[in-house]
Structure 1
Amino acid sequence: MDYTQLGRTGLKVSRLCLGTMNFGPVTSEDDSFAIMDHAHELGINFFDTANVYGWKKGEGITENIIGRWFAQGGGRREKTVIATKLYGDMGDWPNDGRLSALNIRRAADASLKRMQTDYIDLYQAHHVDRSTPFEEFWEAMDILKQQGKILYVGSSNFAGWHIAKAQEAAARRNSLGLVSEQSHYNLIVRAPELEVIPAAEDYGLGLIPWSPLAGGLLGGILRKIDKGRSASENMVRARALEIKLDEKALARLDEIFPGFKTAPEEYAW
């Protein structure tokens, strides 16, 4: 396994990061445990999750699965650089989501409890919160750092100018600032190359692409959509929706991969 520094930090992470979004809704707990164990066997030490994963409001299903896996011991927690995210609503009250100081404090404590750990390696803002000033965001994150609850702060789905604003606000506080940006980036979705990646390079952020295989499109999912777990209703629906939204992208795939097979007609609803 190849390892690299996470942005400008001294933290070493595997170049492959294990995404856990399907743990719970699509992947059973036993299979999730097996996948994480095998990731360690392959030398993957970087896992990514979020408090909303599991997609049942407030339950944190995926984080709970990871917590029960950590609880088995055997160095599982110690060998893992765990990244999680906050922003999405975890309840129905006004302050149960986004990036206010109040929600940052509550969300961090809840994620720590679910994952049965006393610190989060990389705590990421899942989206930018235009109603919360970065001064408030950094004050809350700095307190979590001082308490030893988080080590590094990252962003996800930020525009280039959001990264710039965040970093300048952090600099005024003499804070380390963002160390990574997690963006939707693959051979089909290239928008981050315009401003996000240049901003990340300039400010020393590591780039964590999400959906690097475009939901499986770049991994041949359409050729095997009628076999195995990929044929489940959820997976077929997800692929069909992505196909419907990305017809131009599929045409581009035909250029990248000559002979690329489009979706079976019965799945294209």
Structure 2
Amino acid sequence: MKHTQLGRTGLKVSRLVLGTMNFGPQTDEADSHAIMDAALDAGINFFDTANVYGWGENKGRTESIIGNWFAKGGDRRDKVVLATKVYANMAAEGDAWPNHDKLSALNIRRAVDASLKRLQTDHIDLYQFHHIDRSTPFEEIWQAIDTLIQQGKILYVGSSNFPGYKIAQANEAAARRGGTIGLVSEQCLYNLAERRAEMEVIPAAREYGLGVIPWSPLHGGLLGGVLKKEVQGGRRASGRAADTLADPAA
């Protein structure tokens, strides 16, 4: 397995990232643990998740599965560069209150502590903003992040689904504060079928020294041949590939 530094940091991560979004909803805990063990055996040390994974009434389930895997010992936590995300409303269905989502200082503090508990760890290596929050100024966000870094709860910060101009705004605000490293990575939709990130996101990431973490690299299975398998009576298509089947012009 090849490893590289994440953006302008000294943090070394595997070129391949283990995405865990299906742990819980589609992959049971035993199989999820087996997948993570196999990833480590293959030299993959970069695991990505989000507090909302598990979805619906099971929000947080994916982080809990990972936490139970860490609890099995064997230096699992020490070998993994752990990334998770914050933004979604984590309140129980029908019990959503103000300040239970997005990137206010209050919700960031609440979300970090909840993720640490589910993940059964004392720190998160890469804490990512899952989406932009147009209501919260970056000055407030960075103040909250600085506190968490000082407390040792997070080490690095990244973004996800940010447009190029928001990457610039975020890192310029961090620079004005002084002593804040700012965003070190951007996780964006990027593959051979979806290349809009090349227009502004990737140039902004290059300008500010961010590592780029593509999500859906096979475009929901489309680039892995799922349409051919569907035509030949193979596995049922899902996600983007299913959308393409339903609308051949997509």
Give 1:189's match in structure 2, choosing from 176, 186, 194: 194
* Match in the other structure for 1:201: 206
| Whole-angstrom distance in 2 between the partners of 1:159 and 1:65 | 31
Alpha-carbon distance change, 245 to 127 in structure 1, aligned in 2, over 3 angstroms = farther
* Match in the other structure for 1:173: 177
Please show how residues 1-269 of structure 1 align to structure 2 within 5 Å. Answer: 1-57=1-57, 59-91=59-91, 92-174=96-178, 175-225=180-230, 226-227=233-234, 230-231=235-236, 236=238, 239-244=241-246, 247-248=249-250
Shift of 1:220: 1.3
Asked if structure 2 preserves the Cα contact closer than 8 Å seen for 1:64 and 1:115, the reply is yes
Shift of 1:238: 6.0
Alpha-carbon distance change, 246 to 62 in structure 1, aligned in 2, over 3 angstroms = farther
**SS of equivalent to 1:117:** coil
Asked if structure 1 preserves the Cα contact closer than 8 Å seen for 2:191 and 2:214, the reply is yes
| Whole-angstrom distance in 2 between the partners of 1:56 and 1:114 | 17
**SS of equivalent to 1:77:** helix
Alpha-carbon distance change, 238 to 198 in structure 1, aligned in 2, over 3 angstroms = closer
**SS of equivalent to 1:40:** helix
Alpha-carbon distance change, 35 to 137 in structure 1, aligned in 2, over 3 angstroms = same
Shift of 1:129: 0.1
Shift of 1:221: 1.8
**SS of equivalent to 1:78:** helix
| Whole-angstrom distance in 2 between the partners of 1:206 and 1:243 | 33
What TM-score does the superposition give when structure 1 sets the normalisation length?
A: 0.87
Shift of 1:126: 0.1
| Whole-angstrom distance in 2 between the partners of 1:29 and 1:146 | 33
**SS of equivalent to 1:142:** helix
Deviations 1:198-225 (A, max 9, x none): 0000000000000011011111122334
| Whole-angstrom distance in 2 between the partners of 1:167 and 1:142 | 14
Q: Which residue identity lines up with residue 11 of structure 1 in the other structure?
A: L
Shift of 1:34: 0.6
Asked if structure 1 preserves the Cα contact closer than 8 Å seen for 2:48 and 2:84, the reply is yes
Q: Which residue identity lines up with residue 158 of structure 2 in the other structure?
A: G
**SS of equivalent to 1:43:** coil
Shift of 1:246: 7.4
Asked if structure 2 preserves the Cα contact closer than 8 Å seen for 1:58 and 1:89, the reply is no
Alpha-carbon distance change, 103 to 243 in structure 1, aligned in 2, over 3 angstroms = farther
| Whole-angstrom distance in 1 between the partners of 2:49 and 2:238 | 23
- Identity %, equivalent residues: 67
Shift of 1:94: 1.2
| Whole-angstrom distance in 2 between the partners of 1:98 and 1:15 | 29
Structure 1 gap ranges (5+): 249-269
Q: Which residue identity lines up with residue 173 of structure 1 in the other structure?
A: R
Asked if structure 1 preserves the Cα contact closer than 8 Å seen for 2:227 and 2:245, the reply is no
Shift of 1:58: 6.6
| Whole-angstrom distance in 2 between the partners of 1:67 and 1:224 | 35
Structure 2 gap ranges (5+): none
Alpha-carbon distance change, 211 to 237 in structure 1, aligned in 2, over 3 angstroms = closer
Shift of 1:240: 1.6
Asked if structure 1 preserves the Cα contact closer than 8 Å seen for 2:219 and 2:241, the reply is no
Q: Which residue identity lines up with residue 144 of structure 2 in the other structure?
A: A
Moved over 2 A (4+): 56-59, 222-227, 235-239, 241-248
